[in-house]
Amino acid sequence: MSGEKFKSISAADFFYKNKEIAGFDNPVRATYTIMRELVENALDACEQYSILPEVRVKLIDEGNSIYKLKVEDNGIGVPYEQVPYAFAQILFGSKYTLRQSRGIFGLGGKMAILYGQITTHSTVKVMSSTGGFEKYSYELNINIQENRPVIRRKEVGPNPGRWRGTIVQFSFEGDYIRAKPKVVEYFKQTSILLPYANILFVDPDGVLYRFDRITDVMPKPAEEVQPHPHGIDVEGVQRMINASRSSTVLDFMANNFHRVGIATALNFLKSIKIEPQANPKTLQSKELLTLVSRMKEYDEFQPPDAQCLSPIGTDLLKAGIMREFRPEFVAVTQRGASAYSGYPFIVEAAIAYGGNIPITPPDEMSVFRYANKIPLLYDLHSDVAMKVIKKINWQRYRLDLSTMPVAFFIHICATKVPYKTVGKEYIADRPEVEYEIEWALKTCAREVKMHLAKKEKASIVQRRLTVFEKYLPLISRFATELAGVESQPNVEKVLKRLQTHAKEVEQRSTPQAE
């Protein structure tokens, strides 16, 4: 081994050499991933601060497979001095707290910019303002070997309109023509989950895709929380100790972990026989290992709670589905918070029936999957949601997926989404997650079943009434002719009896819970 030379490589260099792992394996995929990452950053910049999102995206064909992308948002803006790091240094801004957001470190956006730089040798232009008196423009490159931003040009100007937001613009090599179906589908599905956002996309052919806000209501933003003791590893704890100013293990536990207070920490430390008053910085690595491994096993910790999550809520989910599909009926449900490995998560689901929902063959079912508000467009058949859908006996709910217009919507929000791969494509079948999805869908299915039963009953009763209303006047007329009298008998009495009867039937048919 002596001939081998070891040298550290920068994070930027690492991604440069391994770009396929983040979804940049080919120009088609890269086009989709780049657009998605930038749009997600734009939406996060708005939603985390309860700003109603206005996101405009423009893609221009510059020839030779080069495209120029411009994404504009009205989000919180990036502070003047942080712009170079936020856009041209990989892994900037790592944090020890957790909350639900689309991306964890803003990594994807920077990967996209890096990909643009290495394929077109051009700079990224960023204009931003936090809404103060100034707005500022940068032109940046990434120094790949040293993972550091290179400022090519910078300019500060007045901001008389107090504009706030960020505009990012850069070029990359891609293939929009073949990426188009996925890109358009991405915008469509994103808008379903975000009925409070205005999203505009102009594609290279000049086609405008516009998704208008239909409500001003937004879900509450996720709060940052400390990590839960069930969801942390030795490296994480070591870093937290290094950053902590606590002088005792007891304080360290009580101050740095989600749902851990003095009492819980004391009980826990006693049970693993670590001196509560010990200085955390002097813990032996063996003791540290014990601490962390016992933390994962200890079941007296309170489960994580969901304040760090930002579910979309049943009303908004319903509104989004209604806008896109105008279904005849939609059942929406939100499960209570649950957790896997110390990461809290919430499952929301909906089943829509009829309207513009298409009838699909069994292998192309309408299943809309979201994780932390990101639509998942690839690998449906590997996803846990599909596993659950295949498992459920839909006949029990009077649903026949191959002949009925049914669509499924599943949103999982979590501080850490259990993706199976780096590319945010599908969700692993964690038993806790599977269980929640199954019950969410079954709850919706029950409602759909009740709707269908009600509809069937109502249509039978209505059909009967129509028949009676058609024939009774005729009977009355012919009877009058036969009897040879002048005026017709009053059929209202009989019709009234019928209508009362119809109402009774309807009430009787009001479905009971299973």
Partner 1 sequence: MQKRLNKEVLPKLNELGTEIYRQLEGGEFPRIKLPGRTTSNIIFNEELNQFILGDQKAVRSASNIKQIRSLTQLLWVASFAKRLVSEGKSSTLRDLYYHSLNYGIKFREQLESDDTVADLEALMTEPREAFNIFPKERSAIFGDLSIEYTTPETHKGKKANLGSNPDGVMVGLSVAQADFLSCSANKVFVIEKNAVFRRFIEERVYEKFNALLIDTAGQAPRLARLLIRRLNLELGLPVYLLTDADPWGMHIAMVIIRGSANAAHLRELTTSAARWVGLWATDIKRFNLPSFPLTKLDEQRIRLLEWDMRYRDFEWQSELQEFKKTKRRTELESFSAHGLTAIVEKYLPKKLKMIADMS
Least separation in angstroms between CB 507 and partner 1: 20
- Asked if 494 is part of the footprint of partner 1 (rule: CB under 8 A), the reply reads yes
The pair of three-digit structure tokens given for residue 335, joined into one six-digit string:
């499960």
Least separation in angstroms between CB 323 and partner 1: 40
- Asked if 491 is part of the footprint of partner 1 (rule: CB under 8 A), the reply reads yes
Q: With respect to partner 1, which residue has the nearer C-beta, 200 or 505? A: 505
Q: With respect to partner 1, which residue has the nearer C-beta, 150 or 474? A: 474
Q: What is the largest CA-CA distance in the chain?
A: 121
- Asked if 489 is part of the footprint of partner 1 (rule: CB under 8 A), the reply reads yes
Question: Applying CB under 8 A, which part among 252-260, 337-345, 433-441, 463-471 lies near partner 1?
Answer: 463-471
- Asked if 493 is part of the footprint of partner 1 (rule: CB under 8 A), the reply reads yes
Least separation in angstroms between CB 466 and partner 1: 10
- Asked if 482 is part of the footprint of partner 1 (rule: CB under 8 A), the reply reads yes
| Long-range interactions of 263-268: CB distance < 8 A, separation 24+ | 264/300, 264/301, 264/302, 267/300, 268/294, 268/295, 268/298, 268/300, 268/301
Least separation in angstroms between CB 483 and partner 1: 4
- Asked if 263 is part of the footprint of partner 1 (rule: CB under 8 A), the reply reads no
Q: With respect to partner 1, which residue has the nearer C-beta, 296 or 501? A: 501
Q: With respect to partner 1, which residue has the nearer C-beta, 103 or 489? A: 489
Least separation in angstroms between CB 495 and partner 1: 10
Q: With respect to partner 1, which residue has the nearer C-beta, 422 or 475? A: 475
- Interface residue with partner 1 among 476, 502, 509, 511 (CB under 8 A) is 476
- Asked if 207 is part of the footprint of partner 1 (rule: CB under 8 A), the reply reads no
Angstrom CA distances, 143 to 83, 91, 138, 150, stand at: 15, 14, 15, 6
- Asked if 137 is part of the footprint of partner 1 (rule: CB under 8 A), the reply reads no
Contacts of 18 (CB under 8 A, 6+ apart): none
Task: Please report the sign of the dihedral spanned by the C-alpha atoms of residue 381, residue 387, residue 393, residue 398.
Answer: negative
Which amino acid belongs to residue 420? K
Q: With respect to partner 1, which residue has the nearer C-beta, 363 or 492? A: 492
Q: With respect to partner 1, which residue has the nearer C-beta, 288 or 502? A: 502
CA–CA dist 401, 407 (Å, integer)? 9
Of residues 131, 171, 185, the one with CA closest to residue 38: 171
- Interface residue with partner 1 among 479, 500, 503, 504 (CB under 8 A) is 479
- Asked if 485 is part of the footprint of partner 1 (rule: CB under 8 A), the reply reads yes
- Asked if 151 is part of the footprint of partner 1 (rule: CB under 8 A), the reply reads no
Task: Please report the sign of the dihedral spanned by the C-alpha atoms of residue 421, residue 423, residue 429, residue 433.
Answer: positive
Angstrom CA distances, 299 to 230, 305, 373, stand at: 9, 15, 31
By CB under 8 A, the count of residues binding partner 1 is 23
CA–CA dist 77, 434 (Å, integer)? 38
Query: How many CA atoms within 13 Å lie on the side-chain side of 59?
Result: 28
Least separation in angstroms between CB 486 and partner 1: 11
What backbone torsions phi and psi does residue 460 show, to the nearest 5 degrees?
-65, -50
- Give DSSP secondary structure letters for 415-457: SS--BSSTTS--B---HHHHHHHHHHHHHHHHHHHHHHHHHHH
- Would you report the helix, strand and coil content of the chain in percent, each value rounded to 5? 45, 20, 35
Question: Applying CB under 8 A, which part among 253-261, 309-317, 378-386, 462-470 lies near partner 1?
Answer: 462-470
Of residues 345, 364, 310, the one with CA closest to residue 435: 345
- Asked if 464 is part of the footprint of partner 1 (rule: CB under 8 A), the reply reads yes
Q: Give the 3-state secondary structure of residue 488.
A: coil
245-264 core/surface letters (b: 16 or more CB in 10 A; e: else): ebebbbbbbbbbbbbbeeeb
Q: With respect to partner 1, which residue has the nearer C-beta, 293 or 488? A: 488
- Asked if 472 is part of the footprint of partner 1 (rule: CB under 8 A), the reply reads yes
- Interface residue with partner 1 among 475, 499, 500, 504 (CB under 8 A) is 475
The answer to whether 87 and 177 are in contact (CB under 8 A) is: no
Q: With respect to partner 1, which residue has the nearer C-beta, 153 or 497? A: 497
- Interface residue with partner 1 among 273, 362, 484, 512 (CB under 8 A) is 484
Question: Which chain residues interact with partner 1 by CB under 8 A?
Answer: 464, 467-468, 470-472, 474-476, 478-485, 489-491, 493-494, 497
